[in-house]
Chain A
Amino acid sequence: MSSRVCRTCGGSDIDVDQARGSAVCTSCGSVLEDNIIVSEVQFVEGSGGVSSAVGQFVSADGPVKAPLLGSGFHTSVGKESRAQTLQNGKRQIQQLGSQLQLNQHCLDTAFNFFKLVVSKHLTRGRKTEHVIAACLYLVCRTEGTPHMLLDLSDLLQVNVYILGKTFLLLARELCINAPAIDPCLYIPRFAHMLEFGAKTHEVSMTALRLVQRMKRDWMHTGRRPSGLCGAALLVAARMHKFRRSVKDVIGVVKVCQTTLRKRLTEFEDTPTSQLTIDEFMRVDLEQECDPPSFTAAQHKAKMQQLEQELAKKLDEVEGQFLLPPFLFSDPEDNGEVLSMPSEPEEVESEDVELQAATHHLTEDFLCQVIQEEEGHGMKGDREAEPEKESMGPHRQAASLTSILGQLPSAASLIRNQALRLPSGDHPQSEELDLEGIDDQEIDKYILNEKEVQVKTELWMKQNAEYLKEQKGKKKKSKKQDQIEALTAGEAIERMLEKKKISSKINYDVLRDLNRGTGSPTRSPDHTPDTTVARKRLNRRRRRKTSDSNQDLAANTSIMGKRTVSVVTETETPAETESNPPPDSAAETSPTLPTAPSPMEEEEEEEEEAEEECVSALQLVGG
């Protein structure tokens, strides 16, 4: 009881008597409170002498509304959505967890995680089963149970990586640091599945030692722990004279045959594999190895280096042969030089091209030189022209002309290359900046007509199934009609005919808001109403609904509602347009015949609403 101030005298000395339940001011004697409410637990004796506490437990995050009737009445109506989500989640956790054989403690922890996740709004946009699987896996990791993510994905038939993504996200958001997986955890589980009988424990121990050795040898970083376990178990089984084939192990461990083989090979490469079984059990080698991928990468690097050196040496050897022809101008040495016809030409041609490309202005000069050469050629003059050092002996003239013939292309190449260098600032406008884009090349990317035809045929044949599907879909959606209306109000009206916007609005009342004194128009509606009340499928209500829609349209436009674009409705196949509209309203008739079906449902619902409304109106006296 908080110490209060007395109302009459202002004194703060108040005596609270719990037994009598009264609060009295000691200075003036006025009674401040009678029948004080006590928050204590009361006990009641039930049948058979059992005493039970009076009252119910209300959870903090339970429904806001207190349970209405008694303790045994669980209503699902009126509960908050949050509570529903949690309840649903709990149920799914229990289900999945029992399949994994997790104990109750784990399941409770998982549920706590789930509550955290829900409170952080991380379930939005994710399937509940994924979130629950991630929560369960989180628990498995923190508790260290031998469950793999693969098991969960097996149960749910979901891709492992999707579950993994969810799991990683949750772990990050909840700031839970799951300890790294130790392959040793999985060994007992797999050993059990491989059925070693009485010797399961021994085999497990051997396998454990093997795995620890593998860890020391850096085989386990970046690898799936199940692969290592598989390899270790296989070796352990063989060591204890059990015949387990690779296939058996794979079935249990769920890795590929190639992976298992690879792990075994890697283990073979370590020095430990050279030990005998007894030695292995006793001795632990001090030496550690590099991870296998690291050694492989280094091996590759070495190979590359070797190759480079080889290439260099080859060049040197070639170079020795290449030098003489340039220096030689004697006709006698023709024979020697002729023995290497290809190489000097190639080198020279490259040189020539480069030089011509860079000094393409000297094209003319080259042509002159060629003419001179050809003039001299018949005489067999082998002297290298001093003007062009790379011109070489006369017999190269033929090749030169061919080379020079290619010069224009080389020159154009250079020109293009120069242009293709990206220029500085591109204009900010949205117009495409064509600088640096070679139109000719782009044209190559576009097929000409014949090719298009061929490709079209091919494509149609290939994708015939897909096209059929699309056609089927289109047919269904094509029954939508374009709304043609003169005014916005009309458009709304027609739209409303086709689609009922909300089931929670009593359209009739809405209609009546607008129609204050429109009672005479209502009387013709009444008679069709009564008939319809008996025959639900009577379609003559169209008139009424059209009127209602007019009013609704007016109302909606008044309220400034945005017109919803007409969504296509799937037409029920049974619908026919057999019932002609009794309506004489010309404007509505063209559209009405096409929309009898969607109206049907509206009619039925509106009927009931209409009936109620009628009675209300009658009561009111309208």
Chain B
Amino acid sequence: MDSSNDEALDIIITNVVATFRTRCHLNLRTIALEGTNVIYKPEVGKVLMKLRKPMITASIWSSGKIICTGATSEDEAKLGARRLARCLQKLGFKVRFSAFKVVNVLAVCSMPFAVNLINFTKNNRPIASYEPELHPAATYRIKNLKATIQVFSTGSLTVTGISLLTRLNTHRHIKYLTPFYVQLRRHIGLRD
């Protein structure tokens, strides 16, 4: 059953977050005034720069730390980061590309059946938590894989974690959870 489920399940990575350092001080005002597609937030102290080619948004701090979000794969994230560094180099800063690290990966998956969140949380007490007042999904934290899975009542899941980098791990997460879902399947034959 697990293998057939794997084939049916479509796990799509939607967001990859990465950080890197430029090892030099950046003047945010220069970047803000001379770059296109930039938003300057002086209250927080950062500049948001958006690239088009890999659709990436980067938060740039004056210390030289940069966080890139919005890439759809690890390689894309690295490419986007390098482009950004190149862009900063052209603006006149002595940029050096160092300490590139992928920090978080978000993937989306959807089960073909709906889930009863209340029973689900009851059966998985300390690991799962559900607060309808705060968020419509139940959060399930897998400690050994260091991943968080948010389960919605429609059956869609979002999986977040660094260990998602290899596709194998993603599948492992889903495999881990499928038995639970099978327990909680609502036995109504209305699904297509």
**Is the beta-carbon distance between A422 and B78 smaller than 8 angstroms?**
yes
**B8 at interface by CB-CB < 8 Å:** no
**Is the beta-carbon distance between B137 and A222 smaller than 8 angstroms?**
yes
**Is the beta-carbon distance between A447 and B133 smaller than 8 angstroms?**
no
Within 8 A of B (CB), among A40-92: none
Indicate with 1 or 0, residue by residue over A210-246, a CB within 8 angstroms of chain B CB atoms: 0000000010111111100000000000000000000
Indicate with 1 or 0, residue by residue over B14-55, a CB within 8 angstroms of chain A CB atoms: 000000000100000000111111001011000000010100
Indicate with 1 or 0, residue by residue over A543-563, a CB within 8 angstroms of chain B CB atoms: 000000000000000000000
**Is the beta-carbon distance between A221 and B35 smaller than 8 angstroms?**
no
Of B90, B98, B132, the contact of A222 (CB 8 Å cutoff): B132
User: What interface size band does chain B fall in?
Assistant: 35 or more
Within 8 A of A (CB), among B134-173: 134, 136-137, 152-156
Of A150, A177, A181, A447, the contact of B132 (CB 8 Å cutoff): A181
Within 8 A of B (CB), among A419-470: 420, 422, 426, 430-434, 436-437, 439, 441-447, 452, 455-456, 459, 463, 466
Inter-chain contacts of B7 with A (CB < 8 A): none
Within the complex, the shortest CB–CB distance from A164 to chain B, in Å, comes to 4
**Is the beta-carbon distance between A164 and B134 smaller than 8 angstroms?**
yes
Inter-chain contacts of A167 with B (CB < 8 A): 131
**Is the beta-carbon distance between A180 and B97 smaller than 8 angstroms?**
no
Inter-chain contacts of B90 with A (CB < 8 A): 439, 442-443, 446
Question: Known contacts A432-B95, A447-B36; is A442 also within 8 Å of B86 by CB?
Answer: yes
**Is the beta-carbon distance between A180 and B118 smaller than 8 angstroms?**
yes
**Is the beta-carbon distance between A445 and B118 smaller than 8 angstroms?**
no
Of B91, B95, B117, B152, the contact of A446 (CB 8 Å cutoff): B91
Inter-chain contacts of A439 with B (CB < 8 A): 86, 90
**A298 at interface by CB-CB < 8 Å:** yes
**Is the beta-carbon distance between B33 and A452 smaller than 8 angstroms?**
yes
Of B82, B96, B131, B192, the contact of A298 (CB 8 Å cutoff): B192
Inter-chain contacts of B89 with A (CB < 8 A): 432
**Is the beta-carbon distance between B154 and A168 smaller than 8 angstroms?**
no
Inter-chain contacts of A172 with B (CB < 8 A): 126, 129
Within the complex, the shortest CB–CB distance from A614 to chain B, in Å, comes to 51
Of A149, A291, A293, A434, the contact of B86 (CB 8 Å cutoff): A434
Within the complex, the shortest CB–CB distance from A452 to chain B, in Å, comes to 5
A449→B188 CA distance, assembly (Å): 66
**B190 at interface by CB-CB < 8 Å:** yes
Question: Known contacts A150-B133, A430-B96, A432-B95; is A221 also within 8 Å of B34 by CB?
Answer: no
A226→B43 CA distance, assembly (Å): 36
**Is the beta-carbon distance between A297 and B131 smaller than 8 angstroms?**
no
Within 8 A of A (CB), among B81-103: 82-83, 85-87, 89-91, 95-98
**Is the beta-carbon distance between B87 and A445 smaller than 8 angstroms?**
yes
Within the complex, the shortest CB–CB distance from B75 to chain A, in Å, comes to 5
Of A161, A293, A455, the contact of B33 (CB 8 Å cutoff): A455
Within the complex, the shortest CB–CB distance from B14 to chain A, in Å, comes to 17
> B-side interface residues toward A, CB under 8 Å?
23, 32-37, 40, 42-43, 51, 53, 75, 78-79, 82-83, 85-87, 89-91, 95-98, 114, 116-118, 121-122, 125-126, 129-134, 136-137, 152-156, 188, 190, 192
> A-side interface residues toward B, CB under 8 Å?
148-150, 160-161, 164, 167-168, 171-172, 175, 177, 180-181, 218, 220-226, 288, 290-291, 293-294, 297-298, 420, 422, 426, 430-434, 436-437, 439, 441-447, 452, 455-456, 459, 463, 466
For this complex, 19 residue pairs linking A to B, each with C-beta atoms less than 8 Å apart, are A160-B133, A160-B134, A177-B126, A180-B121, A221-B116, A222-B152, A222-B153, A223-B132, A294-B154, A422-B79, A430-B97, A430-B98, A432-B96, A433-B82, A433-B97, A434-B86, A442-B90, A446-B34, A447-B34
